[in-house]
Structure 1
Amino acid sequence: MSQMLNSLLMVAPILQKAFLLDCMVGVTDREKFLAYYPTKGLNLGIKVGDRLREGSINAMAIAEKRRVVKKIAKEVFGIPYIAVGFPIIEHGQVVGCLATGVTTDQEERLRLLAGELNEAFENIAMHTESLAKEADDLAGASYTLSEAATQMKLKIAETSQISQLIRDISTRSNVLGLNAVLEAARAGSAGRGFSVVAEEIRQLSQTTSTSAKSIFRILDEMNDLVGLVSSEMEKTTAHSLQQSTRIQELDAVMQQLRHMSEQLRKAAVLTDRSE
């Protein structure tokens, strides 16, 4: 047997323990396995004396006289792993192969988790963007309503002025009516007809005065309600703006987390390496 293979067989179990990760180690000649050291998480059931399978990493390294790295899917042996086959060359001839392998089960779980996280962040980001738009729309609507309430208060103030004018006219009409009644009484029978008209004017002024008071009461109540609505709308507008700002800040955080998730997914993917 080759001197290099003999030396390799002696150091193979020590070499396995020297690796940082649990590493499967196999030593072959050109045809069969001379030694096989599995790990707890990666045991392919190989026995000493098993012949090399065609297309295996050992056979490829020997046939092509080069280092071969291959990622093996879980469907092949039930365990995902990455293996390295290194040809042993002595006096210019390939006499065997040193094969090592480490499981990628953890990396696969990490990759799947990263993919799920990325998808979750995509959905959250989409809903966050929608909430941000709705918050902006709500803030705009609140501002419009607040402006409308302010304009309504101004219109009520104008209406109050008109009602005050009506009340003043009513008061003056009532005074004129009373004066007319007195003058008609002094005129005796000649002022009887004018007395009826004067009385009607006085009664109309009293009715107008009563109506003006009712209008003032209603306007005061409306003014109070509009003031309350305006105050609440100002609060709503402020809360809406704060909500919009918070959602935008949340969206920025979600974008950052989504970027981190994507970086995690990329880091979890083991790519094939070969010379």
Structure 2
Amino acid sequence: MDLLPLLDKMLPDMGIGVTDRTRWLDYYPGSKIDIGAKQGRAIDPKEPLTDCIQHNRFIKDEVPEEFFGVSFTGLASPVEADGEVIGAVAIQIQEYNERELRRISDQIAASLSNAHEQVGFAL
């Protein structure tokens, strides 16, 4: 059974892909994020996914817009065979909505505080 299509159906908002050490092998874009990782496309040596593969470590990192045209949270885990890293599984989640809601909430709180201070001075 191919796991990526199943995960894509279960979690449609995120992008998910599998790589070897240097290239994307398969990629399923999410409904909210598509980094355009086509089969055979090289992994950018400057992106966090490279660090995951080279240092055999799980990563969770904010990937700036400059890499794929959209910022997102990237998670990646190395895939090993016989004790050697042969690639990675990568997930992209766009947490923009949560951040935007937090920003709006902070603006509302600041506006209410400012209004409260102004009303206090007017009395």
TM-score relative to the length of structure 2 = 0.88
**Runs of 5+ consecutive residues of structure 1 not aligned to the other structure:** 1-6, 135-275
Counterparts in 2 of 1:253-268, with a 5 A limit? none
Picking from 20, 31, 34, the partner of 1:29 is: 20
Question: What is the aligned partner in structure 1 of residue 119 from structure 2?
Answer: 128
Question: What is the aligned partner in structure 1 of residue 45 from structure 2?
Answer: 54
Larger strand percent: 2
| Percentage of pairs with the same residue | 24
Q: Partner letter of residue 96 of structure 2?
A: D
Q: Partner letter of residue 7 of structure 2?
A: L
Question: Is the Cα–Cα contact under 8 Å of residues 14 and 92 in structure 2 kept in the other structure?
Answer: yes
Q: Does 1:16 align with 2:8?
A: yes
Evaluate the alpha carbon distance shift between residue 126 and residue 76 of structure 1 in structure 2; reply closer, same or farther with a 3 A threshold.
farther
User: Of the two, which has the highest radius of gyration?
Assistant: 1
Q: Distance between the aligned counterparts of 2:105 and 2:71, measured in 1?
A: 17
Using the TM superposition, give the Cα deviation of residue 75 of structure 1 relative to its aligned residue in structure 2, in angstroms.
Answer: 5.4
Using the TM superposition, give the Cα deviation of residue 105 of structure 1 relative to its aligned residue in structure 2, in angstroms.
Answer: 2.1
Secondary structure, counterpart of 2:34 in structure 1? coil
Q: Distance between the aligned counterparts of 1:37 and 1:113, measured in 2?
A: 31
Q: Distance between the aligned counterparts of 2:50 and 2:57, measured in 1?
A: 11
1:122-141 CA-to-partner distances (Å, cap 9, x unmatched) read 2112113224xx3xxxxxxx
Q: Does 1:86 align with 2:77?
A: yes
Using the TM superposition, give the Cα deviation of residue 90 of structure 1 relative to its aligned residue in structure 2, in angstroms.
Answer: 1.5
Secondary structure, counterpart of 2:111 in structure 1? helix
Larger helix percent: 1
Q: Does 1:40 align with 2:31?
A: yes
**Runs of 5+ consecutive residues of structure 2 not aligned to the other structure:** none
May I ask how many residue pairs the two structures share in their alignment? 123
Q: Does 1:114 align with 2:105?
A: yes
